[in-house]
Amino acid sequence: MGQNSILALHRLLANAEKEGWSPKKIHEQCKLAVDGEYTTKNYSQYEINLTCALYELGGGAAVHAMHKSIFALPCRNTIQPYRRQHKLTPSVSGLKFADITSNIAALFGPHARRETDKSNGVEQPPTICGHTLSFDELATERKIDYIPETDEMGGFCLEHVSVLETVKVGNDTRTVEAAITAVREGKVHISHETSVGAISRLYQTGYGARPVFLGPSCKKGGWKQCVEVMEMVLEAWKRSPHGEQKHGPIFEVSSDGDHKCRVAMFVMCMNSEIGPDNPLYPFICNLPGLNCRVGNNNLTSDPDWKHMDKRWCTLLCSSEGLAVKNVCINRDVLLTWLERLPFHDWSESSIHALLSETSLKALLNPSDAQDVPRAIKLLLCIMEIGKLDPEEFDPSEAAEFEALCLLGELFDAMLQPFINMELSLSEQIQSLIKFSHLLCALYIQNGTSFIPNQLYADLQAMVKNAVLLVPKTRILNGSLKVFICLLGDDVLEALFGRLRMIGRHSPNCSLIELRDRFASAMTLDHIFEEHPELERRPRRLNMFRMCHAVEFILAKYGVRMSMSFAQRFKRKDTDLLRPMGGKYPAISPEVDRSLVNSSSPAADTIDPDIVDPLNLMAGVDFDALIAAEKDRSPSSAESHSHFAEIDTAGNLAHKKIILRTFFDMTHDSHASHDRLQRVRGFTIGGKSWTRDNSELSSENVSATTHFQLGNLFTTLLCHNGTHLSLALAKSTLIKRGTSGSKAASVSAIPRAELHLPDSPYAVSGQVLSVVPLAPAENDVVWVWDGDFTSFSLKKKKNNGEEIARIKNLQFSVSSRLIDANIHGQAREISACNFDLPSGREKTWSFSNSDLLAAWNSLWIRILNDTSLHDKFPVFTECRSSCYTSPIANTAIERSIKDRLACRICGKSVKDQDRQLHVGEHILKALKDVEDVSAKTPVSDAYPCGTCGGSTIDGSCKIAIKGGKADSDCPSAYCFMISAARKFRPTRLCMNIPIECALGYKETHWKYNYHQHLQERHPDWKRLISDKFAEEIRISVEEQSALKIPAEKVIAWPILDVASPDLRNGCKRSISSLTNSPTRRQSDKENRTPNASPSRNRSKMPRLY
């Protein structure tokens, strides 16, 4: 036995014990096993489950290999009776009640796995408990599948599939041809994502997610469609005999931070007030601040807490950062503090290096924004900052340290209930309530400077759901346990991970392949529930390995509030979900900057002022809806062939081949196996936030040679629109290069390079709030009171409480306009002798003579350099300063007030009016209309939209960055293109930058496209699409509004043929009509047009 490999030795010995074999008999059977003449077949349930898992993950070849190996696992025929094929039904022809009930029956019906009493092995009916309905999207291939069971085409988006008369293939290709026509016309889309709705148990066993809704999506629907889907699933679960009656009600609806899902959950879960007749009322009536609005059957929303952890990190790792007690915390500030953490072990994170600057940058700028352990690691590191000794910190650092300690305690209260398994349920709820009130206090103080409205609402909704989960469970069954760790859509994310694991080297799949993979995933779910040691947990969802690093932060930090929580929550329509009263932040129309790909909310967003109950589905008659579905469905399964006629001669082809041929998709370079490249659009290298490679090492940086991050400086700013004032500030961010979020961040600037004429550096900072004191020497001393000054960019004050927004707490200025000498002149003094509101032990003091010298130095510099006159930060409201100078009737006034002389006529024009003013000049020249006010002619070589000069001589280059117009023109100003493209009485000129859709992606002003198309695309009338033609169209209304005579008004461009397909001379491919991302091309923006040598450029082409 020691010299030979015996097949299935463990089963052979089990047989020997069972049948009482003698040692001689055991020896003989072992010999037969070695010779391959005897193999025991008494497979255990564990071996059968193991083989089933092997089959789902590795296929038949893997099962065969293990069957022939020394382990002699069961073959495929043996495990076949144990494999349950879950037949799921995707919704391909629209949202149908029958599809959802069919999936519920398949996964929760009589064939579903039953609970077993471990003490006696007897099967028991399922325990009635609460459930979570989770929704998320999964990327799929743009492909149309043939479903042989129903003879249907699958893969059209549910949002617009109703435009198709039918999705059944039939006996010929007419239905397929009609579907292709609808796709080409943009009436329906081939889905690139699948919306998945899954139900999971809030119980200690069997809590895996089970998908009951599979809907292909184009992501172009609104929140109302999300409401319809969620309500349909809830109603199906309530009516199905295998749903609520058998397993228990749905307590909550969970999703990630998607805007449409957030609004949908708000509508569904906020339509009624918990009154005295509600069974929840006795439990929550004495909880001040708790929002008491719920949905039908006390439904509440449950945003996933792990997604919110990642959104916290997105804020912290941005250049803008967040404000805590008016102190701005961004990635550069965090970097300086994390470097101070002593003896920190980084080996548990995805960073394969010990503490170093490089690993810290990876932590603050990950290659994978979905890495949950990395997000938790960052939050835990911020919590550990509170352990540092504050004795050696200067006053500026002490203010940052206090803000970071408060932020760390906030994160501690949020994370402990989910990652500390030693906490009791009461301790978990108490910690979440503490987090909720701290969050509310900081949000009241700093508003969206702290966190976006949407993130605040999601965090408070998470706490509210956790609090209400306890009484809900007690009412349902007081003996059930409550598991806070099961909240969120984590189980759905784990299910998606299994799908990717099943796909192996082919993670991309079509809708039908996704359906089959879900069936395999359900088989694995049952196996892994019995044998959890067999499953490799996704690294990105694993956090409990870091629990030991967490320690409670005991110190408490007060936040100044205008009133107590008790007083605040006594006000009408005020609670933790709407601390300002009235409006709910959850449905704010503002952009959520905590998301990686933040975008404006959908146009059909809900009214943010709504506070009354709202139930869109209240009038829906589900009985009539179900009856109508039954009438449309055939009474019995119609027989159909898998072949269809493809021509009049009666030739047949398989329907799969027909669909594959008709919907031929060219290779999509973005259908990559790399998930980051496929979903996020970038590779494992990550989006580049790295410090400039040419940055000097820390050994060469010193206070005497470099201006460093965190240093104090002085500058001039226009604090009220009429006066320049001296500002004393602390640097929070230093960038090199062009302005914007993509500029490189640096930690220090050589002092010799600060004031160079072409200095590329920009410094962001916060203005210190200082108060004058008169010591015995009668020399005025300015002392920092521990706060930072907030500015206003608007003349109109907001009603209600004053909020310091982050863009008003920070300003940015060219390094040419700063004086860095003040940092070395500032003195650190004890604050105990002064009555300062901060309560800190140390503060900064500045002598009046030093500030006066800084003022004189800066004033002389701007008088000698006129190019600095438009570099001042301009605000409209701020407290006055002791060092001020009026700017009336000076060149500085014209620059500050955004008034520049028009190059064409010399008239002084404001920024917001410059596009309209110059556009009128250009269009008159374009239409050969006399312009009596013009003193200088408009350039005939691609005139600039803000000055009228040429854009091809290296100046006035135009580009589109972040949805905004970006130009090198001295007269340029920043404006949003999406807002400027709409014709309205307040914006008559729509001359905006547009990227050419023909050939290379050059960017030109709209009024220059007549010239560009004639020179670069002579055959443009045959190539141009309707969409692009509409973008560059100069309408009759626009020309009339810009004072073009009626006889010269004509809409342009004029197309010879109305149909773009006929102009092209051929049919467009399906891939060009599905918004499939194209291959990345080299940047050709601002490319100088190739002028034909024979062309006379002395006269601009005219439009008639």
Sequence-distant (6+) residues with CB within 8 A of 586 are: 262, 263, 266, 453, 454, 457, 458, 461, 577
Sequence-distant (6+) residues with CB within 8 A of 1027 are: 997
The tokens for 278 are 């509600």
Q: Is the predicted pLDDT of residue 248 greater than 90, yes or no?
A: yes
Q: Does the global pTM surpass 0.75?
A: no
Range with lowest mean pLDDT among 700-709, 797-806, 909-918, 929-938: 797-806
Whole-angstrom distance, CA of residue 550 vs CA of residue 320: 28
* The residue type at 730: K
Sequence-distant (6+) residues with CB within 8 A of 935 are: 904, 905, 906
Whole-angstrom distance, CA of residue 330 vs CA of residue 809: 13
Residue with token string 């004031």: 755
As a whole number of Å, the CA-based R_g of the chain is 34
Q: Which residue has the higher pLDDT, 37 or 361?
A: 37
* The residue type at 413: A
The pLDDT-based confidence of 370 (bands split at 50, 70, 90) is low
CA 446 to chain centre: 22
Instruction: Read off the pLDDT of residues 652-671 as tens digits, 9 standing for 90 and up.
Output: 888 888 888 888 655 443 44
Q: What is the pLDDT of residue 722?
A: 66
Whole-angstrom distance, CA of residue 224 vs CA of residue 208: 28
Can you spell out the DSSP letters for 418-432? Answer: HH-TTS-HHHHHHHH
Assign 149 to helix, strand or coil. coil
Buried b / exposed e over 159-185, threshold 16 CB at 10 Å, is bbbeebeebebeeebebbeebbebbbe
Whole-angstrom distance, CA of residue 958 vs CA of residue 34: 80
Q: What is the pLDDT of residue 921?
A: 92
Q: What is the pLDDT of residue 461?
A: 92
* The residue type at 147: I
* HSE toward the beta carbon, residue 200, CA cutoff 13 A: 27
Can you spell out the DSSP letters for 397-417? Answer: HHHHHHHHHHHHHHHHHHHHH
Instruction: Read off the pLDDT of residues 389-428 as tens digits, 9 standing for 90 and up.
Output: 888 888 888 889 989 999 999 999 999 898 888 889 999 9
Assign 58 to helix, strand or coil. helix
The tokens for 623 are 């009985």
Sequence-distant (6+) residues with CB within 8 A of 682 are: 676
Range with lowest mean pLDDT among 406-420, 450-464, 555-569, 1084-1098: 1084-1098
* The residue type at 537: R
Instruction: Read off the pLDDT of residues 514-567 as tens digits, 9 standing for 90 and up.
Output: 888 887 777 777 777 777 777 666 544 444 333 333 233 323 344 455 566 666
Q: Which residues pair with 788 in a beta bridge?
A: 768
Backbone angles phi, psi at 1062, to 5 degrees: -70, -35
Asked if 967 contacts 959 with a C-beta cutoff of 8 angstroms, the reply is yes
The tokens for 126 are 């399922």
The average pLDDT across 609-624 equals: 57
Backbone angles phi, psi at 908, to 5 degrees: -75, 125
The average pLDDT across 310-321 equals: 86
Q: Nearest-5° angle of CA 821, CA 822, CA 828?
A: 135
Q: Which helix (H) or strand (E) holds 62?
A: helix 45-67
Whole-angstrom distance, CA of residue 899 vs CA of residue 585: 37
The pLDDT-based confidence of 808 (bands split at 50, 70, 90) is low
Q: Let me know if 995 is exposed, middle or buried by CB neighbors in 10 A (0-12, 13-18, 19+).
A: middle
Q: Is the predicted pLDDT of residue 709 greater than 50, yes or no?
A: yes
Whole-angstrom distance, CA of residue 881 vs CA of residue 729: 13
Determine if residue 1023 is left, alpha or beta; phi over 0 gives left, psi from -120 to 50 gives alpha, anything else beta: alpha
Q: Is the predicted pLDDT of residue 259 greater than 90, yes or no?
A: no
Q: Is the predicted pLDDT of residue 735 greater than 70, yes or no?
A: yes
Q: Is the predicted pLDDT of residue 802 greater than 60, yes or no?
A: no
What residue spans define the domains of the chain? 9-82, 97-114+122-301+487-530, 305-349+367-481+538-587, 698-896, 909-1073
Nearest to 917 by CA among 937, 897, 945, 952: 945
Asked if 177 contacts 659 with a C-beta cutoff of 8 angstroms, the reply is no
- Averaged pLDDT of the chain: 77
Q: Is the predicted pLDDT of residue 898 greater than 60, yes or no?
A: no
Q: What is the pLDDT of residue 362?
A: 60
Q: Which residue has the higher pLDDT, 1087 or 730?
A: 730
Assign 535 to helix, strand or coil. coil
Whole-angstrom distance, CA of residue 708 vs CA of residue 749: 6
Whole-angstrom distance, CA of residue 956 vs CA of residue 966: 10
Nearest to 465 by CA among 228, 659, 191, 266: 266
Q: What is the pLDDT of residue 371?
A: 72
Residue with token string 């102009």: 1063
The pLDDT-based confidence of 475 (bands split at 50, 70, 90) is very high
Whole-angstrom distance, CA of residue 199 vs CA of residue 100: 11
Buried b / exposed e over 1041-1064, threshold 16 CB at 10 Å, is bbebeeeebeebbeeeeeebeebe
Q: Which residues pair with 844 in a beta bridge?
A: 828
Q: What is the pLDDT of residue 699?
A: 53
Euclidean distance between the first and the last CA atom of the chain, given in angstroms as a whole number:
99
Instruction: Read off the pLDDT of residues 261-293 as tens digits, 9 standing for 90 and up.
Output: 888 888 888 888 999 999 999 998 888 888 889
Q: Is the predicted pLDDT of residue 212 greater than 90, yes or no?
A: yes
